[in-house]
Amino acid sequence: MARVGVIGAGAWGTALALLCCKNGHEVTMWSALPAEIETLKADGQNKRCLEGVPFPKELHLTAEDEDVCTNQDVLIFAVASPYIRSTAKRLSSLIAKDQKIVSVAKGIEDDTLMILTDVIESEIPQADVAVLSGPSHAEEVGRGIPTTCVVGAKSRKSAEYLQNIFTSPVFRVYTSPDLLGMELGGALKNVIALGAGMADGLGYGDNTKAALITRGIAEITRLGVAMGGKKETFTGLTGMGDLIVTCASMHSRNRRAGILIGQGKTSDEAMKEVNQVVEGVYAAKAAKKLSDQYGIDLPICNMVYRILMENFPAKDAVLELMMRDSKPEHQDLWEE
């Protein structure tokens, strides 16, 4: 049994708290909002995010920073990506040396273009920071529907320790040393999912979706490898696997927002209707900056950026993408 603190009481934090409870760990879940904790206690479940899934009596709920941070074997950072730095800064003084922290948010910090594990490390340098990612909608994980994910850590020892914390009969966990590749895949797939949703909202079909997914992972891989990620990572669970589920599922807030934009709503109207943080909107800004910085062509990501930030009509996007200059699918095959 381990002591696990979950920082963030949204859908993903709740799902992982429930998973860790079922795995026999001693779990404390925290929110920065005392009123949210009181509501969760009164309801005995997270009605907003996982209605119908009761909390086990062993789950401890708190709004006190010290309660969740001290004497824990593992801390799970499950706040939305825009709040990772402020939360890490707030809690840093309470974090012990070599504390294992697992980042489970997906995004790239907009102004610094840092991956989220690096953001946490910059604010909590004394910690041992890892990442958990993969095809894992909270709505399914919280209900015990089987999936597989990956723990990324700098040392094999830390990765295998965390692998054992999370692994269950319904949650299989692999390990990887490629934190950069994992995090880029997890962040940029949200941009492609916005595009896939827009295509759905415009009434396009399965062929269009398959093309967006396939060419989307090609873009993510090009940029990821240029930045130092490993090509194999983007073909795996935290690349192609996460991309498929995010583009295909109605659990995906990014796809849902994209559908609304494809139907004619503005990005602000779509985010308001989805009523959750749409990570792909932030990731689209970062993707555009990274595309420019590394000189990597990201036609789908950049088109999503234009639709979101420059009011380019979604209905015109497919034609512009389809009529770009013709080229080989894999240039290196011709060079051989």
Contact assessment for residue 23 and residue 3, using Cβ atoms and an 8 Å cutoff: no
Distance CA 321, CA 336 (A): 28
The long-range contacts involving 65-72, CB below 8 angstroms and separated by at least 24 positions, are 65/30, 65/90, 65/91, 65/94, 66/94, 67/28, 67/30, 68/5, 68/6, 68/7, 68/28, 68/29, 68/30, 69/5, 69/94, 69/95, 70/94, 70/96, 71/3, 72/3, 72/4, 72/5, 72/28, 72/99
Looking at residues 216-225, what average pLDDT do you find?
A: 97
- Output the pLDDT for position 268: 83
Residue whose entry in the numeric block shows the structure tokens 């990570």: 279
189 is catalytic: yes
- Output the pLDDT for position 248: 92
AA letter at 64: E
**In a 3-state reduction of DSSP, which class is residue 231?**
helix
pLDDT in tens, 101-143: 999 999 999 899 999 999 999 999 999 999 999 999 999 999 9
Residue 271 φ/ψ, nearest 5 degrees: -65, -40
Given a cut of 90, is residue 47 above it in pLDDT?
A: yes
Q: In what order do the strands lie in the sheet with 74-77?
A: 60-62, 26-30, 3-7, 74-77, 100-103, 128-133, 147-152, 171-176
Given a cut of 90, is residue 70 above it in pLDDT?
A: yes
pLDDT in tens, 77-93: 999 998 999 999 999 99
Given a cut of 70, is residue 336 above it in pLDDT?
A: no
**In a 3-state reduction of DSSP, which class is residue 287?**
helix
Q: What is the CATH number of domain 3-177?
A: 3.40.50.720
- Output the pLDDT for position 267: 81
Angle at which helices 279-294 and 253-262 cross, to 10°: 90
Whole-number average pLDDT of the chain: 95
In the chain, % of residues over pLDDT 90: 85
| Fold match between domain 3-177 and domain 180-335 | no
Distance CA 190, CA 188 (A): 5
Given a cut of 70, is residue 237 above it in pLDDT?
A: yes
Given a cut of 80, is residue 174 above it in pLDDT?
A: yes
Looking at residues 155-181, what average pLDDT do you find?
A: 98
Catalytic pick among 100, 189, 209, 288: 189
Looking at residues 328-333, what average pLDDT do you find?
A: 86
Distance CA 118, CA 297 (A): 25
Domain ranges of the chain: 3-177, 180-335
Exposure on the CB side of residue 114, measured as CA atoms within 13 A:
14
Q: What is the CATH number of domain 180-335?
A: 1.10.1040.10
Q: Who wins on pLDDT, 102 or 269?
A: 102
The predicted model scores a pTM of 0.93
Given a cut of 70, is residue 31 above it in pLDDT?
A: yes
Cα distance from N-terminal residue to C-terminal residue, the chain = 54
**DSSP letter for each residue of 12-46:** HHHHHHHHHHHTT-EEEEE-S-HHHHHHHHHHTB-
Given a cut of 90, is residue 331 above it in pLDDT?
A: no
- Output the pLDDT for position 148: 98
Closest alpha carbon to 285 in 188, 158, 200: 188
Element (H, E) at 167: none
Distance CA 291, CA 296 (A): 5
